[in-house]
């Protein structure tokens, strides 16, 4: 056995930086398979410590030297001393003695995970050529590094790659895309912000990837021709679960190839100029969890809103704001099953119906944004049953005498009472007792001239010197004597009608 120079190093846990669910799942799988992926090298292990080959440790400073002049952060300063697994961003394999994972890593033959997220490069630095030689890579994340120039086609050598994330590198150009077809194991691809020279060639290549589940092409300067139906004649993309085509220049109706994506769970077509109507076949995409169509030119929903949302039991986020959608929303809840909905926005459309009854059954709803429409009728008291609600905007509608009573008591509300509370001029009763609110009661509450009673008890409010009237010591103008405070303050005391002056 050849002698090897050895270094004692501590074991450092692998860390996930990606933040994307699909990439994390693939990453966790790689952790379980890591002992099979790494080629075993010569090593000797002693209790409590492990031995790392000097040739691998010495490769790390070479990479450091090549990048530190262009880096705008200081993580490379930790790459000193003999214990290389204590260096920031590295992880080592306890069993094999190999450096097997790195957030910032060089040309190590056995590497299967390379994450350069957060390494901010200055100047016109291209993607390093050595990455194409890391043939064991299954995970490559270059998110927001600042690389510029053409994406190197030698990445085609990474045939084991399952995750490739290049997004937020706005100086990158995809001059050629044919090499992507060799990445047959690819499941997760994010090219957001990377401009393809020939977008139609890219879309043809994507059809050939048999394992692709996650595809993000936001801000890629895609045009109508690049998503024409003729480019999607394969069943490969029908398996997609995540598709992001947001912030492009798609001045067309919603693409018909989407109708075959029955496995889709996340669909983002926002920030385009999609026109005409939302087609009837959208009602068949029942696996959707996240649907984002905001900021387009859509004017109607074929079959109506109720047909569109019916049977979408898994839906959690629905964003349709900033379109031109109009008509009525059926008040019936027949077929409606999206009771786990957490975000619903119809902001700045042209709806003119009464608010649907099923709206008040969405107990998981956190954000309800319906402003700038023409909704009519009354808002029922059952709005108070939306116990998870964090944001409500019904402004700029034609609602009549909405919400005379608002009871938010005994929740976990924290922070200050918003100044905009004064906009709710129709309130007759307001109760936010039993929370964790702090600060002063805002002066705008004086605009609530119909309010009786107001209950702010059991919070951390510091009060306001201008607050007056029973049961407070401050007397209001026209009051001859200050009231006598009760000997034993009670909860009912706070419910008394309070008057407010500026």
pLDDT tens digits, 211-240: 999 999 999 998 887 787 666 656 777 889
CATH number at residue 26: 3.80.10
Q: How crowded is the C-beta side of 128, counted as CA atoms within 13 Å?
A: 21
- With beta carbons less than 8 A apart as the criterion, state whether 324 and 295 touch: no
Examine residue 458 and state whether it is found in any structural domain, yes or no.
yes
Question: Would you say residue 396 lies in a domain?
Answer: no
Provide the pLDDT confidence category of residue 7 given band limits of 50, 70 and 90. very low
More confident residue, 155 or 454: 155
Tokens 């200055």 belong to: 122
Residue 344 resides in a domain: no
- Cα–Cα distance for residue pair 426/289, rounded to 1 Å: 36
The mean of the pLDDT values for the chain is 76
Q: Per the domain annotation, does 372 fall within a domain? A: no
Q: Is 436 contained in some domain?
A: yes
CB 142 within 8 Å of CB 165: yes
The answer to whether residue 130 sits within a structural domain is: yes
394 or 341: which leads in pLDDT:
341
Residues 6+ apart with CB under 8 A from 325: 298, 299, 300, 301, 346, 349, 350, 351
Domain assignment of residue 444, given as a range: 404-502
* Band (30; pLDDT cuts 50, 70, 90): very low
Residue 4 in domain: yes
Last residue of one domain, picked from the residues 126, 156, 184 = 184
| Longest CA pairwise span in the chain (Å) | 102
Placement of tokens 């043809």 in the chain:
204
CA distance 336 to 333: 5
Domain C-terminal end among 184, 204, 232: 184
pTM, 2 dp: 0.72
Query: Domain tally for the chain?
Result: 2
The per-residue pLDDT for range 362-413, each reduced to its tens digit, is: 999 999 999 999 999 887 777 778 888 888 888 889 988 656 778 888 888 8
Tell which of 146, 165, 184 closes a domain: 184
Q: Is the residue at 112 inside a domain?
A: yes
């Amino acid at each position: 056995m050849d002698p090897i120079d050895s270094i004692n190093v501590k074991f450092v846990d692998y860390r996930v930086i990606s933040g994307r669910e699909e990439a994390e799942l693939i990453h966790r799988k790689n952790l379980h398979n890591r002992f099979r992926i790494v080629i075993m090298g010569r090593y000797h292990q002693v209790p409590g410590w492990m031995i790392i080959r000097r040739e691998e440790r010495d490769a790390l400073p070479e990479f450091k030297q090549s990048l530190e002049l262009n880096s705008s952060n200081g993580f490379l300063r930790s790459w000193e001393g003999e214990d290389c697994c204590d260096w920031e961003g590295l992880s080592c394999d306890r069993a094999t003695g190999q450096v097997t994972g790195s957030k910032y890593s060089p040309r190590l033959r056995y590497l299967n995970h390379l994450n350069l997220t957060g390494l901010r490069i200055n100047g016109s630095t291209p993607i390093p050529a050595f990455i194409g030689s890391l043939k064991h890579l299954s995970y490559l994340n270059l998110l927001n590094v600042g690389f510029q120039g053409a994406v190197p086609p030698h990445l085609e050598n990474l045939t084991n790659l399952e995750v490739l994330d290049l997004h937020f590198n706005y100086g990158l150009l995809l001059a050629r895309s044919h090499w992507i077809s060799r990445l047959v194991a690819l499941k997760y691809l994010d090219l957001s912000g990377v401009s393809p020279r020939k977008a139609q060639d890219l879309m043809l290549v994507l059809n050939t990837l048999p394992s692709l589940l996650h595809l993000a092409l936001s801000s890629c300067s895609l045009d109508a021709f690049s998503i024409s139906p003729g480019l999607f004649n394969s069943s490969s993309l029908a398996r997609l679960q995540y598709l992001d085509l947001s912030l492009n220049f798609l001045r067309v109706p919603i693409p018909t190839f989407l109708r075959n994506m029955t496995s889709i769970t996340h669909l983002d077509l926002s920030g385009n100029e999609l026109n005409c109507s939302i087609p009837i076949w959208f009602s068949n995409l029942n696996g959707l969890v996240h649907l984002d169509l905001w900021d387009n030119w859509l004017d109607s929903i074929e079959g109506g809103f109720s047909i569109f949302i019916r049977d979408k039991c898994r839906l959690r986020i629905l964003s349709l704001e900033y379109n031109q959608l109009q008509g009525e929303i059926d008040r019936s809840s027949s077929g409606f099953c999206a009771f786990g909905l957490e975000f619903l926005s119809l902001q700045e459309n042209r709806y003119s119906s009464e608010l649907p009854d099923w709206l008040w059954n969405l107990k998981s709803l956190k954000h309800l944004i319906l402003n700038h429409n023409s909704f009519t009728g009354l808002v029922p008291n059952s709005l108070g049953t939306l116990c998870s609600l964090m944001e409500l905007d019904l402004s700029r509608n034609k609602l009549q005498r909405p919400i005379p009573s608002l009871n938010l008591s005994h929740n976990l509300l924290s922070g200050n009472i918003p100044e905009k509370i004064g906009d709710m001029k129709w309130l007759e009763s307001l109760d936010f007792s039993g929370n964790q609110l702090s600060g002063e009661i805002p002066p705008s509450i004086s605009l609530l001239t119909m309010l009786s009673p107001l209950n702010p008890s059991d919070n951390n409010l510091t009060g306001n010197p201008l607050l007056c009237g029973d049961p407070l010591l401050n007397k209001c103008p026209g009051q001859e004597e200050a009231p006598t405070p009760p000997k034993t303050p009670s909860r009912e005391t706070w419910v008394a009608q309070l008057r407010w002056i500026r």
